[in-house]
A and B are shown apart, each in its own frame.
Chain A
Amino acid sequence: MDIVEVLKHTSPALFLPELQATDKTAALAEMVEGLVSGTSIQNPDTILQMLQSRENLGSTAVGPGIAFPHGRTLAVQRLTILIARSGKGVDFDSEDGGPTHLFFVLVAPPQDSGHQYIKSLATLIDRLQDADLRAKLREAGDYESFCAALKGV
């Protein structure tokens, strides 16, 4: 799956350019609120509980300054990706102990036969190995320039 395919699962309404939260619990709640307000998804409590369970399994802050909260839940009917950013950084229990500035939240329905969300995760993680790209994404002025940087155009 290429990055263009991955970006089909997000939208300008699912882009939070500046998170207010600075701790993990509040950041997850803010991102779930963004998911609900940017889509027709209901039952935020169900999504939040799933994402919290996933974090209890092990932090999803696996890249330098990046986290990928993810999982499957009945609360969504299709793969949905929310992108969030924090200038201040969030303490997200990252492996290197540093603050997390970029978030890609992937929520998928239970039946996701092609494992699209794992493929999307893999594509994003691979793409975000590039330190220059990460710097561009932190500085991108809006959703369009953020996506353009991700696509490398």
Chain B
Amino acid sequence: MHPQLQLLVALQDMDQMIRETEESREQLEDLGFKHEGLANLKTAREDLAGKIDPSLASWYKRLTARFGHAVVPVVNNLCMGCFANIPSSFVSKTNVDKVQKCESCGRLLYWP
């Protein structure tokens, strides 16, 4: 996986964790979970975001605001964001050196 995509996936996982903790805090704390590290997690999130190429970080931010998730998996050659067909050439050797975007919706593509 492209190192920048690895960072973007980790960033999105972290953003979701922060969002879910804030939205479902009461429910999760009823189950016994504590969230005393939330402020530190947000700091770690900013540190991680700082390692991402500024143009990709900006694209990630715009897509997240628009769709909720900026990075989506490709399953059976389909973008799981908009279900557009993703050409198999996107995963060819010539293309592994860059982060791929769906030509239809612009989301960043991840092959699980």
Contact = CB atoms under 8 A, between A and B. Distances in A.
Interface stretch (B14-22, B84-92, B95-103): B14-22
A58 B36 contact: yes
Contacts of B31: 62, 121-122, 125
Given A46-B9, A77-B75, A58 B1 contact: no
Range of interface residues on B (Cβ < 8 Å): 20 to 34
Nearest to B1: A43
Contacts of B9: 43, 46, 73-75
Contacts, number: 81
A59 interface: yes
A125 B28 CA distance: 11
B57 interface: no
Contact of B40 (A56, A111, A118): A56
A77 B112 CA distance: 8
Nearest to A122: B31
Given A43-B1, A77-B73, A58 B13 contact: no
A97 interface: no
B112 A62 contact: no
Contacts of A41: 112
Given A57-B37, A58-B36, A59-B34, A50 B28 contact: no
Contact of B41 (A56, A63, A74): A56
B110 interface: yes
B82 interface: no
B32 A74 contact: no
A72 B16 contact: yes
B63 to A, nearest CB: 13
12 contacts: A56-B37, A57-B37, A57-B38, A62-B33, A74-B13, A74-B71, A74-B72, A74-B112, A75-B9, A75-B112, A118-B24, A118-B28
